[in-house]
Amino acid sequence: MHIVVINCGSSSIKADVLDHFSGRSASSMTVERIQESSPVAEIDGEPLSLASGLSGHGAVLEDALPRFLDNLPADIEISGVGHRVVHGGERFRNPVRIDDEVESAIEELCELAPLHNPANLEGIRAARSILPDIDHVAVFDTAFHATLPTRARAYALPGDLVEKGDLRRYGFHGISHGFVAQRAAEYLDTDLRDLRLITCHLGNGASVCAVEYGRSIETSMGLTPVEGLVMGTRSGDVDPGILIHLMREEGYDADDLDDLINRKSGLRGLSGITNDMRDIQQMAAEGNDRCRLAIQVFSHRLRKYIGAYASVMGGVDAIVFTAGIGENSALIRHRVAQRFQFLGAHLDEDRNREIEVNTDNPVERISTATSRTHLLVIQTDESYAIAEDTSQLVLGKDRLDDHRPIPVAVSARHIHLRQETVEKLFGEGYELTSRNPLSQPGQYAAEETVDVVGPKDRINSVRILGPPRNIDQVEIARTDEFLLGVDAPVRASGDIDNTPGILLEGPAGKVELKNGVICAWRHIHMTPEDAEHFGVDDRDVVEVAITGGDRDLVFGDVLVRVSPDFKLEMHIDTDEANAANLCPKTARGMLISTPGQAQLRRRKTTFDPVDAAAE
């Protein structure tokens, strides 16, 4: 399957025809100086003469794209068009087929990315008019970071101001971070959903991302691409007080500050010469102190972020370097990774100097063979990533044709215990007593309760669910977190590595759990027959609309769990149920049925293998 990938930058257009599986390019077109009176175009390195007087992405693409397509070999058939769109805002969490409604929504988001979204939109409109009979797909730079938890995306600003201006952290380079994370998982022969990764996209623009079990949970860029790492011409993190000082003391206005932090800072500002790391490294080797400082500050900032993200995730399985600097600068990789022994990452200096990544060899390891944490260099390819995402939607992999309703139950705070723990709390040989059966076959709410004691406060009489399991697990809601004084991650049931512990008090004793406190990832239980009926698999992630309460809600990140022992039902916690006005006042310590109904809208294709034979 061949996909046209169109990337309309602020002053350029790049178009490729790619094989969706291999990423091999059949043909490429570039157009530079789009906003000038005489744009410059090439197809596969050969000049392309454009009609005179053209200016702007839409007009240029309407002239150039048909000729680009006519130049393709006769045996190549275009199956879809993928468009890179910089900003998807709150709405777009995944790639999406483009229709008039999506076009309008992208237009509404132009104020969040005024240099890029308008250009992206012009490219979309021109391409849809030229190729109206095939699927066009928008792939958003921000979408990979849609899973950022509230604590990671919020700024410490007044709420009314934040709400009025949509002032939150969105993150960027998501297409690249998602792509290299998946390639790292393939290289390590491990499901991405079982890994903790830190991906470092280091180019003229630079960002770092914490990918925990397939989900972006932290990233260095924020509302705009200025926040975070030192970049080619962007400052990265800077004390806002400096900008206030420049306004008061130096007479800077908003445009001056914009120019300063976006175009005159970063490596260019530090070196005083250039934003090209290759030149900076050369001049540093020749004794230029400002270039040496630029390298030191760049490396220190990145190392600081990596250490912080490893702490946020409670460890890391692999650290990935990618993009121009990450793939090609052994010096930067050395300066960043040389102190990571405390993470279990030991740099192999010889491999670091010698490796080269390319299309035929896209992944290399630069850590020693005995390193617990891998250091990887991976070639990124955003066009290839867009082609893969587009192919999945062209094939309809996201579609769910069965829209029958799924019952919704509230999973209030509760505890699962091992038999050994039951006996420590209630006495030797003690067995749980069923109070009432639950909706899931074979499970019950026990008569027994225990007190949960956190660093800050306690919750008494938390009910145990039976029968005993092979792990101890305490499931709470976000409001319980604050009461107890713990920081519980969102996890699938049973995934308790790197989670906090808690004290349990029973009538016959106390047990100090070393881990096991989680906020359960909202999920749907299905039998294998249900899963086949809906067209999903175990561990798929789906988008779900919930109705039946006073407020209809859409959840975009719902986990599917499949087992012959399950009954079809969606479980949400009390906070989520309260948001939909579904929560019965009696919901304590058990699964409570509600009048709510869930309907699957689409499935996330992020974790799907790409079908080589698909057409």
Q: Say if residue 446 is in the same domain as residue 577.
A: no
pLDDT at 611: 63
Which run of H or of E encompasses 294?
Answer: helix 289-313
- DSSP state, 399? B
The region of weakest confidence among 65-69, 192-196, 261-265, 551-555 is 551-555
Range of the domain at 444: 414-519
Q: Is the pLDDT of residue 310 over 80?
A: yes
Residue matched to tokens 């349990």: 504
- Residue 576 banded pLDDT, cuts 50, 70, 90: confident
Q: Say if residue 51 is in the same domain as residue 126.
A: yes
Q: Say if residue 435 is in the same domain as residue 418.
A: yes
In this structure, are residues 332 and 377 in contact, taking their beta carbons and an 8 Å threshold? no
pLDDT tens-digit map of 1-18: 999 999 998 778 999 999
Query: Which one, of 314, 365, 363, 310, lies nearest residue 339 by Cα?
Result: 310
Pairing of the two strands 25-32 and 40-43: antiparallel
Query: Which one, of 450, 440, 406, lies nearest residue 598 by Cα?
Result: 406
In this structure, are residues 332 and 202 in contact, taking their beta carbons and an 8 Å threshold? yes
In this structure, are residues 94 and 399 in contact, taking their beta carbons and an 8 Å threshold? no
Q: Is residue 163 part of a domain?
A: no
Q: Is residue 297 part of a domain?
A: yes
Those residues with Cβ within 8 angstroms of residue 465's Cβ, 6 or more apart along the chain or in another chain: 414, 415, 416, 438, 443, 444, 445, 446, 590
pLDDT at 583: 65
Which one of 63, 141, 480, 530 is the catalytic residue? 141
Those residues with Cβ within 8 angstroms of residue 52's Cβ, 6 or more apart along the chain or in another chain: none
141 among known catalytic residues: yes
Q: Tell me how far apart the alpha carbons of residues 473 and 515 are, in angstroms, rounded to a whole number.
A: 8
Q: Say if residue 125 is in the same domain as residue 46.
A: yes
In this structure, are residues 389 and 95 in contact, taking their beta carbons and an 8 Å threshold? yes
Q: Is residue 159 part of a domain?
A: no
Sheet holding 135-140, edge to edge: 46-48, 40-43, 25-32, 12-19, 2-8, 78-85, 135-140, 96-97
Q: Say if residue 477 is in the same domain as residue 539.
A: no
Show which of 519, 535, 554 is a domain's final residue. Answer: 519
Q: Say if residue 207 is in the same domain as residue 346.
A: yes
Query: Which one, of 287, 289, 243, lies nearest residue 262 by Cα?
Result: 243
Those residues with Cβ within 8 angstroms of residue 439's Cβ, 6 or more apart along the chain or in another chain: 407, 409, 567, 569, 591, 593
The region of weakest confidence among 342-346, 552-556, 605-609 is 605-609
pTM: 0.87
Q: Is the pLDDT of residue 589 over 70?
A: no
3-state secondary structure 241-270: HHHHHHHHHCCCCHHHHHHHHHHCCHHHHH
Q: Is residue 392 part of a domain?
A: no
pLDDT at 38: 78
Cross-strand bridge partners of residue 449: 463
pLDDT tens-digit map of 313-368: 999 999 999 999 999 999 999 999 988 999 999 999 999 999 999 999 999 999 99
The region of weakest confidence among 26-40, 72-86, 439-453, 482-496 is 26-40
Domain count, the chain: 4
∠ CA 160-116-55 to the nearest 5 degrees? 140
In this structure, are residues 119 and 8 in contact, taking their beta carbons and an 8 Å threshold? yes
Q: Say if residue 266 is in the same domain as residue 223.
A: yes
- Residue 587 banded pLDDT, cuts 50, 70, 90: very low
Pairing of the two strands 78-85 and 2-8: parallel
Q: Say if residue 453 is in the same domain as residue 594.
A: no
Q: Say if residue 273 is in the same domain as residue 218.
A: yes
Q: What is the DSSP string of 424-440?
A: HHH-TT----EEEE-SS
Determine the residue type at 155.
Answer: Y
Q: Say if residue 249 is in the same domain as residue 311.
A: yes
Q: Is residue 169 part of a domain?
A: no
pLDDT tens-digit map of 165-203: 889 999 999 999 999 999 999 999 999 999 999 999 999
Residue matched to tokens 């229709």: 99
Show which of 462, 488, 519 is a domain's final residue. Answer: 519
Q: Tell me how far apart the alpha carbons of residues 333 and 327 are, in angstroms, rounded to a whole number.
A: 9
Q: Compute the mean pLDDT over every residue in the chain, rounded to the nearest whole number.
A: 91
Residue matched to tokens 């009025």: 164
Determine the residue type at 11.
Answer: S
- Residue 110 banded pLDDT, cuts 50, 70, 90: confident
Q: What torsion, rounded to 10 degrees, do the Cα atoms 487, 490, 496, 498 define?
A: -50
Q: Say if residue 48 is in the same domain as residue 133.
A: yes
SS3 466: strand
pLDDT tens-digit map of 442-461: 999 999 999 999 999 999 99
Cross-strand bridge partners of residue 215: 212
pLDDT tens-digit map of 356-415: 999 999 999 999 999 999 999 999 999 999 999 999 999 988 888 777 899 998 888 999
- DSSP state, 513? E
Query: Which one, of 113, 109, 178, 589, lies nearest residue 388 by Cα?
Result: 178
Q: Is residue 324 part of a domain?
A: yes
Q: Is residue 391 part of a domain?
A: no
Which run of H or of E encompasses 41?
Answer: strand 40-43
- Residue 160 banded pLDDT, cuts 50, 70, 90: very high
Those residues with Cβ within 8 angstroms of residue 130's Cβ, 6 or more apart along the chain or in another chain: 61, 62, 65, 66, 69
* C-alpha distance from residue 545 to each of 446, 549, 576, 604 (Å): 32, 12, 13, 14
Q: Is the pLDDT of residue 590 over 70?
A: no
Query: Which one, of 16, 18, 15, 14, lies nearest residue 2 by Cα?
Result: 18
pLDDT tens-digit map of 205-216: 999 999 999 999
Mean pLDDT for 578-582 is: 75
Q: Say if residue 24 is in the same domain as residue 91.
A: yes
Show which of 460, 484, 519 is a domain's final residue. Answer: 519
SS3 88: coil
pLDDT tens-digit map of 46-60: 888 888 777 788 888
Q: Residue 370's domain is classified under what CATH number?
A: 3.30.420.40
In this structure, are residues 537 and 397 in contact, taking their beta carbons and an 8 Å threshold? no
- Residue 156 CB burial class (10 angstroms; 0-12, 13-18, ≥19): exposed
Q: Is residue 406 part of a domain?
A: no
Number of residues that make up the chain:
615
